C-alpha cells in the first residue's frame, strides 16, 4: 500500500483475489493425493517386515528407478511413499511452480492487464515479486501439508521436514525458471513451453542417471530433490541447498532483467510475416492445424523421445531383475516377464502425454470462444458443426498421432536394446482410450461450455489411476473409470474387446454431444 | 415495395432472469444506411448477434434476407460481412493473413479493392496480430469488410480506436459501399458519424426501440434555439405555447434606444414562423437560429424516455450493464 513498497501489496492482493481458486486447487489436490497415498501404503505395508519386503523387492526394481527415481530408504513408510508418489511429484510440483508464476506475470502482461496495474504506483518488479511470494507460499503450504500427514503417521519429524522442504525446493527451481524465461519470451505459452522442455530434459537426465548410476543426474533439478534421501540413513541437506541456490540465482537474474526492459517487450522481438494467406491457411483445417500444429508436433517429438529413452533401459532392467530373485518373483506375480511389465508402464507414460496434448487442443478451442474469435468465425459462412468437427478431429487425431509416435519410439528402442515386446499393437488397442478424455472436452465445450476446463480434472483422475491407482488400493469400478485400465494392461495382458468397444462408443457419443450442443447454443456463452 | 433485407419484429432475448431485448423492432430496406444507437447495455450487440444467427431469440420474429438466420446462418452469411466492436483475431497470424482468412468464407473478397483498402487504411499487413494496437486490429476487420462483395454490412461500433484520419477513410468507404447499393447497419456512439452517413436511425434503450425514423424527422422533433437582439422592448413571448427556456436580458447593443432586449429561447420547429413575427415587429437588430443538434436529441433520448421507471429497475439488477457479456 505504501509507495516505499512500490505497489507490492497491491499486486499481492490482486493475485490472491483473482487466483485463490487455482492456488487452492493445487494445494488441496497435491496434499490430498499425497495423504491418500500415505494412507494406502500404511494399510498395505503396515508392519516393519512388510516395509522391509518392499525395500528388498520394489525398492530394488530398476523399473521404479527409471520412472519414480531411486527409492532411497524404501524400507520406511516415508521412503515407500516418496517412491510411489515420485512420478507425480516430479511432474506436478515443477508444473505448479512454473504455471503459478506465469499466470500472474507474463500472461497478464501479454493481454495488457499489467499495463493498467503498472499505471498505478506499482513498480516493474512488483507483479513478479508478488507472484513469487504467492507461489512460494503455495509451495510451503503443500510442504506443510505433506509434513503434517507424515507426522500424523509417526514418521520422524526431521526426515519428514527434509522431504517436505526438498519438494518445496523443487517447485522453487521451476518458479525461478519461469521468472527468468518470462523476461526473455513475450508469450506466456512460450514460457510454459520452455519450462516443460526443461522438465522433460530433467526427467530423462534423472532417469538415465538413476538406471545407469551416472553423474548425469546432477544436471536434473529432480535429482536434487531425490538426492536429499530424507528417509535413508544417509539423509543430507546439501542437495536441497543446491536447489534453493539455483532457484535464488534464477529469480535474482529475472528480477534484475525485469527492471531493465520495457513493459510488454522481450529479448526475442516480433518479426514481420507474409502479407497474404494461402489457400490452405484460409481453409478450416488449415487454420486449425496452424493453431494447434506447433503444440502437437512438440508433444509428438516429446513422446517419441521419452518413449525412446525409456525403451533403451529395457536391457538394464532385464539384467537387474535376473540378478535379484525377489524382484523376479514380484514381477512374475504381476503376470508376464519383467521387461513386458516395464514396457507397459512406460507405454502408459507416453499415452498420458498424448492425452495431455489432446486436452490442450480442446482448452485452446474454448479460448477461441472466450477470446471473441469464434464470434467472428461464425459470422462468416462457416458451419458450426464443421468448425467444431475440424477442431475435434485435430484434438483426437492429434492425440492419437502423439500416442503412436510415443509407442513407436518406445518399441524401436526396446527392440534396439534386445527386447521383444510389441508396443505398437498395444498402442493401437489403446487409441480409443487416448481419444476418450479429449472427446469429453469436446462434449463439455458443446453442452456445458463454461465447464470445459473440467476436462483437466478428468485428465488428472486418469493419470492418478494409471500411475498410483493400484498403490492407492482403489476399488475396481473406480479404476475402470480410466479407459486405459478398463482396456487392460498392455502389452502383456490381452486387450478387453468389450472395453475397447465401450470406450469407442463413449468417444463417439461425447463427440456427437459436443457437435449437437454447439449447434443448439448461443455464441458466445 | 421490395422485400426488406432485415426484418426484426418483437424480438426478445433473456439471459437467465435478465431481459436483454424486450420486444425490439428493426427493419432495413435494400440500400438503406441505418444508424443503430443506444447507451451501453441497451442491447445493440445482442440484437446483432441474434441477427447473425449467433444467438437464438427467446421470442419474436427475425428475418435476414427473408429467412431465419438461426437456421440458415451459413447460407445467409455469404451475403453479408460483419465488423465486431471488439475485433479479436488470431495472434500468430499477420494482418494480411487474417484478411484472407476472413475473406475465405462468406462474401467473396475483391482482390483489387483489398489492395486499395490496405493502402487507404495505411495498414502494415505483414505485422503479427499480437503486435497490433486496437486501432490496427480494427483496420484489419474493416479492410476485410469493405473488400468483401457483400449486400449487407453489419458494423458494430466499427470506428472505436481509429484516429480521425482513418475515421474519415471509414466514412468514405461506407459512402462508396452505399453508393454501390449495399445495405448498412451501423451501430455507433459517434453521432456526427451517424449524421453524416445514415439516412435513418433506430434508437434503443433497455432492449426496446424508443425512436425510429429518418434523420430529418428526428430533427423536427427537437427544438430550435433562437437568439435575438431587438432595438425596442422585447415582445411578449410567454403566451406562446411553443416557446420554452426563455431568457430576456437588457440589450447592451451600441446605438440602441436603451430599452432593447437580448432574448434567448427554444421553440418547436413547427412554431418558428409564429414567434419570429413579433420579434421582427419589435425591431430586430440581430438573429441567430440554431437547428437542433443530433447530440442534444440523442442525449435526451438516452437519458429519459417513456419507460424511465423500468430503466431504474433494470439498472439495479446485476448484469444490466453487461452488453458485451463474455
Write down the domain spans for chain B.
6-219, 223-290
Instruction: Give tens-digit pLDDT for B228-282.
Output: 888 888 777 766 667 888 888 887 666 656 778 888 888 887 788 888 888 888 7
The arrangement of strands across the sheet holding B59-64 comes to B18-28, B6-15, B59-64
Q: Across the interface, which of B73, B84, B125 has its CB nearest the CB of A376?
A: B84
Q: Per this entry, what is the length of chain B?
A: 326
Task: Return the closest-CA partner of residue A220 out of A199, A249, A244.
Answer: A199
Q: Does A118 touch chain B (CB under 8 A)?
A: no
Grid cell in block for residue A297: 508436433
What residues have CB less than 8 Å from A525, skipping those under 6 apart? A369, A449, A450
Residue A461, CA distances (Å) to A456, A483, B296 in order: 9, 11, 61
Work out the mean pLDDT of chain A and round it to a whole number: 91
Residue A45 has what pLDDT?
87
Does residue A329 or residue B158 have the better pLDDT? B158
**Quick one: A326 exposed, middle or buried, by C-beta within 10 A (0-12, 13-18, 19+)?**
middle
A312 has pLDDT over 90 = no
Residue B1, CA distances (Å) to B29, B64, B298, B316 in order: 9, 17, 30, 44
Grid cell in block for residue B322: 453487461
Residue A290 has what pLDDT?
93
Task: Return the closest-CA partner of residue B221 out of B237, B201, B207, B205.
Answer: B201
Residue B249 has what pLDDT?
85
CB B185 within 8 A of CB B36: yes
Instruction: Give tens-digit pLDDT for A495-510.
Output: 999 999 999 999 999 9
CB A171 within 8 A of CB A225: no
Task: Return the closest-CA partner of residue A225 out of A186, A169, A184.
Answer: A169
Q: How many residue contacts between A and B have a Cβ separation below 8 Å?
A: 115
Q: Report the topology of domain B6-219.
A: Rossmann fold (3.40.50)
> Do B126 and A275 lie within an 8 Å CB cutoff?
yes
Could you tell me whether strands B18-28 and B224-230 are parallel, antiparallel, or unpaired per DSSP bridges?
unpaired
Q: Does B189 touch chain A (CB under 8 A)?
A: no
SS3 B95: helix
Q: Does A115 touch chain B (CB under 8 A)?
A: no
Nearest 5°: phi and psi at B4? -70, 150
- Distance (Å) from the alpha carbon of A299 to chain B's nearest alpha carbon: 19
ipTM for the complex shown: 0.80
User: Region A208-222: what's the mean pLDDT?
Assistant: 87
Residue A84's H or E segment, with its range, is helix A77-84
CB A62 within 8 A of CB A320: yes
Chain A positions touching B71 (Cβ under 8 A) are none
Centre a 10 Å sphere on the Cβ of residue A472 and count the other Cβ atoms it contains.
21
What is the chain A residue with the closest CA to B123? Answer: A275
Q: Where are the beta strands (DSSP E) in B17-103?
A: 18-28, 33-37, 59-64, 80-83
- Write down the domain spans for chain A: 1-35+86-265, 281-525
Q: Across the interface, which of A281, A291, A379 has its CB nearest the CB of B82?
A: A379
Residue B106 has what pLDDT?
85
Q: Which pTM was predicted? A: 0.84
**25-54 of B, contacting A, C-beta below 8 A:** 49, 52-54
Rounded CA gap, A456 and B66, in Å? 44
Could you tell me whether strands B33-37 and B183-187 are parallel, antiparallel, or unpaired per DSSP bridges?
parallel
Grid cell in block for residue A101: 508464476
CB B3 within 8 A of CB B66: yes
Q: Which residues of chain B register pLDDT less than 70?
A: 1, 238-241, 252-257, 294, 303-326
What is the chain B residue with the closest CA to A285? Answer: B101
Q: Across the interface, which of B104, B124, B141 has its CB nearest the CB of A282?
A: B104
**Radius of gyration for chain B, computed over Cα atoms and rounded to the nearest angstrom:** 24
Which 8-state DSSP code applies to residue B94? B
Instruction: Write the DSSP string, A435-456.
Output: HHHHHHHHHHHHH-GGGTTHHH
Residue B317 has what pLDDT?
37
A322 has pLDDT over 80 = no
Query: Which CATH number is associated with domain B223-290?
Result: 3.30.70.120
Specify which residues B261 forms β-bridges with: B230, B250
**Cα dihedral sign for B43, B139, B31, B198?**
positive
Lowest mean pLDDT among A114-118, A366-370, B283-287, B292-296: B292-296
Residue A335 has what pLDDT?
57
Residue A314, CA distances (Å) to A19, A301, A320, A339 in order: 43, 20, 10, 6
What is the chain B residue with the closest CA to A524? Answer: B326
Residue A122 has what pLDDT?
84
Q: Across the interface, which of B56, B96, B326 has its CB nearest the CB of A275?
A: B96
User: Region A275-282: what's the mean pLDDT?
Assistant: 90
Q: What does the longest C-alpha to C-alpha distance in chain B come to?
A: 77
Chain B positions touching A274 (Cβ under 8 A) are 94, 96-97, 126
Which 8-state DSSP code applies to residue B261? E
What is the chain A residue with the closest CA to B97? Answer: A277
Q: What percent of chain A has pLDDT over 70?
A: 96
- Distance (Å) from the alpha carbon of B82 to chain A's nearest alpha carbon: 7
Choose the mutation target among A376, A517, A519 for the interface with B, i.e. most B CBs under 10 Å: A376
Chain B positions touching A381 (Cβ under 8 A) are 74-75, 77-78, 105-106
Q: Does B105 touch chain A (CB under 8 A)?
A: yes
Half-sphere exposure of A511 (CA within 13 A, CB side): 24
Q: Does B108 touch chain A (CB under 8 A)?
A: no
Lowest mean pLDDT among A270-274, A410-414, B3-7, B28-32: A270-274
A405 has pLDDT over 90 = yes
A120 has pLDDT over 60 = yes
What residues have CB less than 8 Å from B17, skipping those under 6 apart? B317
> Do A274 and B52 lie within an 8 Å CB cutoff?
no
Chain B positions touching A449 (Cβ under 8 A) are none
Does residue A214 or residue B79 have the better pLDDT? B79
Q: Where are the beta strands (DSSP E) in chain B?
A: 6-15, 18-28, 33-37, 59-64, 80-83, 152-156, 183-187, 200-205, 208-214, 224-230, 243-250, 261-267, 284-290
Task: Return the closest-CA partner of residue A73 out of A150, A144, A145.
Answer: A150
What is the chain B residue with the closest CA to A518? Answer: B54
Confidence of residue A331 (pLDDT cuts 50, 70, 90): low
Lowest mean pLDDT among A415-419, A438-442, B311-315: B311-315
Instruction: Give tens-digit pLDDT for A14-66.
Output: 999 999 999 999 999 999 999 999 999 998 888 888 888 888 877 777 777 88
Amino acid at each position: 500500500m505504501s509507495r516505499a513498497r512500490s505497489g507490492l501489496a497491491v499486486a499481492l492482493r490482486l493475485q490472491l483475489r483473482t487466483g485463490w481458486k487455482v492456488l487452492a486447487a493445487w494445494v488441496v489436490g497435491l496434499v490430498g493425493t499425497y495423504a491418500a497415498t500415505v494412507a494406502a501404503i500404511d494399510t498395505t505395508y503396515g508392519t516393519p517386515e512388510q516395509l522391509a519386503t518392499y525395500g528388498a523387492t520394489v525398492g530394488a526394481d530398476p523399473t521404479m528407478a527409471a520412472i519414480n527415481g531411486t527409492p532411497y530408504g524404501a524400507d520406511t513408510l516415508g521412503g515407500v511413499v516418496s517412491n510411489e508418489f515420485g512420478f507425480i511429484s516430479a511432474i506436478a510440483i515443477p508444473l505448479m511452480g512454473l504455471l503459478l508464476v506465469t499466470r500472474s506475470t507474463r500472461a497478464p502482461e501479454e493481454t495488457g492487464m499489467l499495463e493498467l496495474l503498472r499505471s498505478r504506483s506499482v513498480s516493474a518488479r512488483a507483479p513478479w515479486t508478488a507472484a513469487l511470494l504467492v507461489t512460494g507460499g503455495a509451495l510451503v503450504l503443500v510442504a506443510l501439508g505433506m509434513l503434517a500427514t507424515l507426522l500424523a503417521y509417526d514418521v520422524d519429524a526431521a526426515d519428514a521436514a527434509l522431504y517436505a522442504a526438498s519438494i518445496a525446493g523443487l517447485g522453487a527451481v521451476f518458479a525461478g525458471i519461469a521468472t527468468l524465461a518470462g523476461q526473455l519470451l513475450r508469450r506466456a505459452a512460450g514460457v510454459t513451453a520452455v519450462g516443460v522442455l526443461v522438465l522433460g530434459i530433467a526427467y530423462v537426465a534423472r532417469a538415465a542417471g538413476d538406471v545407469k548410476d551416472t553423474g548425469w543426474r546432477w544436471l536434473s533439478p529432480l535429482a536434487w530433490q531425490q538426492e536429499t534421501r530424507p528417509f535413508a540413513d544417509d539423509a543430507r541437506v546439501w542437495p536441497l541447498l543446491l536447489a534453493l541456490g539455483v532457484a535464488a540465482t534464477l529469480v535474482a537474474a529475472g528480477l534484475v532483467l525485469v527492471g531493465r526492459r520495457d513493459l510488454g517487450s522481450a529479448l526475442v522481438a516480433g518479426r514481420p510475416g507474409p502479407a497474404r494467406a494461402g489457400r490452405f491457411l484460409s481453409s478450416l483445417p488449415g487454420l486449425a492445424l496452424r493453431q494447434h500444429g506447433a503444440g502437437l508436433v512438440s508433444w509428438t517429438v516429446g513422446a517419441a523421445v521419452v518413449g525412446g529413452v525409456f525403451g533403451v533401459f529395457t536391457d538394464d532392467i532385464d539384467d537387474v531383475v535376473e540378478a535379484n530373485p525377489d524382484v523376479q518373483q514380484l514381477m512374475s506375480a504381476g503376470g508376464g516377464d519383467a521387461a513386458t511389465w516395464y514396457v507397459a508402464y512406460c507405454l502408459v507414460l507416453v499415452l498420458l502425454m498424448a492425452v495431455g496434448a489432446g486436452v490442450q487442443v480442446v482448452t485452446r478451442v474454448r479460448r477461441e470462444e472466450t477470446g471473441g474469435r469464434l464470434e467472428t468465425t461464425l459470422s462468416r459462412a462457416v458451419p458450426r458443426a464443421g468448425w467444431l468437427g475440424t477442431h475435434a478431429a485435430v484434438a483426437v487425431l492429434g492425440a492419437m498421432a502423439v500416442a503412436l509416435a510415443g509407442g513407436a519410439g518406445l518399441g524401436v528402442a526396446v527392440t534396439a536394446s534386445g527386447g521383444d515386446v510389441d508396443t505398437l499393437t498395444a498402442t493401437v488397442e489403446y487409441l480409443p482410450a487416448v481419444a476418450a478424455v479429449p472427446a469429453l472436452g469436446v462434449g463439455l465445450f458443446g453442452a456445458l461450455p463454461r465447464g470445459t476446463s473440467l476436462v483437466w480434472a478428468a485428465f488428472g483422475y486418469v493419470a492418478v489411476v494409471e500411475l498410483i491407482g493400484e498403490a492407492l488400493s482403489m476399488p475396481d469400478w473406480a479404476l475402470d473409470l480410466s479407459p486405459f485400465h478398463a482396456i487392460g494392461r498392455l502389452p502383456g495382458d490381452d486387450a478387453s474387446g468389450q472395453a475397447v468397444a465401450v470406450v469407442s462408443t463413449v468417444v463417439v457419443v461425447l463427440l456427437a454431444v459436443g457437435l449437437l450442443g454447439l449447434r443448439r447454443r448461443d455464441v458466445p456463452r | 415495395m421490395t422485400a426488406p433485407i432485415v426484418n426484426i419484429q418483437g424480438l426478445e432475448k433473456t439471459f437467465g432472469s435478465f431481459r436483454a431485448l424486450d420486444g425490439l423492432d428493426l427493419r432495413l430496406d435494400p440500400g438503406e444506411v441505418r444508424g443503430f444507437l443506444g447507451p451501453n447495455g441497451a442491447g445493440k450487440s445482442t440484437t446483432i448477434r441474434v441477427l447473425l444467427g449467433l444467438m437464438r431469440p427467446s421470442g419474436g420474429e427475425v428475418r435476414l434476407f427473408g429467412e431465419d438466420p438461426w437456421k440458415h446462418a451459413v447460407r445467409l452469411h455469404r451475403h453479408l460481412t460483419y465488423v465486431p466492436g471488439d475485433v479479436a483475431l488470431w495472434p500468430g497470424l499477420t494482418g494480411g493473413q487474417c484478411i484472407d482468412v476472413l475473406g475465405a468464407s462468406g462474401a467473396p473478397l475483391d482482390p483489387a479493392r483489398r489492395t486499395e483498402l490496405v493502402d487507404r487504411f495505411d495498414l502494415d499487413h505483414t505485422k503479427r496480430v499480437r503486435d497490433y494496437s486496437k486501432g490496427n486490429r480494427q483496420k484489419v476487420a474493416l479492410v476485410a469488410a469493405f473488400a468483401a462483395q457483400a449486400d449487407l454490412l453489419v458494423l458494430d461500433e466499427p470506428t472505436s480506436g481509429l484516429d480521425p484520419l482513418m475515421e474519415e477513410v471509414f466514412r468514405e468507404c461506407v459512402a462508396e459501399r452505399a453508393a454501390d447499393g449495399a445495405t448498412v447497419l451501423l451501430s455507433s456512439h459517434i453521432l456526427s458519424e451517424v449524421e453524416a452517413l445514415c439516412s435513418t436511425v433506430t434508437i434503443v434503450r433497455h432492449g426496446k426501440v424508443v425512436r425510429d425514423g429518418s434523420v430529418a424527422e428526428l430533427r423536427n422533433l427537437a427544438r430550435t434555439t433562437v437568439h435575438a437582439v431587438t432595438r425596442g422592448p422585447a415582445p411578449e413571448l410567454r403566451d406562446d405555447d411553443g416557446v420554452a427556456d426563455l431568457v430576456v436580458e437588457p440589450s447592451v447593443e451600441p446605438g440602441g434606444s436603451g430599452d432593447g432586449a437580448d432574448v434567448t429561447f427554444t421553440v418547436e420547429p413547427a412554431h418558428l414562423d409564429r414567434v419570429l413575427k413579433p420579434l421582427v415587429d419589435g425591431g430586430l437588430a440581430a438573429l441567430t437560429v440554431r437547428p437542433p443538434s443530433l447530440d442534444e436529441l440523442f442525449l435526451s433520448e438516452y437519458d429519459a424516455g417513456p419507460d424511465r421507471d423500468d430503466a431504474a429497475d433494470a439498472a439495479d439488477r446485476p448484469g444490466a450493464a453487461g452488453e458485451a457479456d463474455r
